[in-house]
Amino acid sequence: MQEDLIAEVGIDDEQRLWLRPSKVSFDCVYRAAMEVHWDDEQKRLFSPKPREWTYLQWFDQIITAAADEYGVRLKLTPSTLWRNVPDELKTSIQDSSA
């Protein structure tokens, strides 16, 4: 399985979780029917605004969609930038990805 580093993780103005991979584009990730989408302009994967699921569950869903549809393992690094992500959520995401 190919690996790509996660350059940024954030929550946008519409309360959607997003993550920007370092290299790989995921233009057709929607085909996985996992409610994960690709923003070609921003070059990032994003989820819908959470309804029943938490942001942590959506983070895992985005990671799973990239792996299942593209064979790419997305990995957090110490240099991953965090945008508009509460510290508690950041810690939860980092802990679940370790």
What the chain holds in terms of domains, given with CATH numbers, is 2-97 (2.20.20.40)
State the burial class of residue 64 (Cβ atoms within 10 Å of its Cβ: 0-12, 13-18, 19+). middle
CA separation for the pair 66, 40 (Å, rounded) = 15
Tokens describing residue 53:
């699921």
pTM: 0.94
Per-residue pLDDT of the chain (98 residues; tens, 9 = 90+): 899 999 999 999 999 999 999 999 999 887 777 899 999 999 999 999 999 999 999 999 999 999 999 999 999 999 999 999 999 999 999 999 87
55-70 helix and 87-97 helix, angle to the nearest 10 degrees: 40
Tell me the pairing of strands 2-11 and 72-75.
parallel
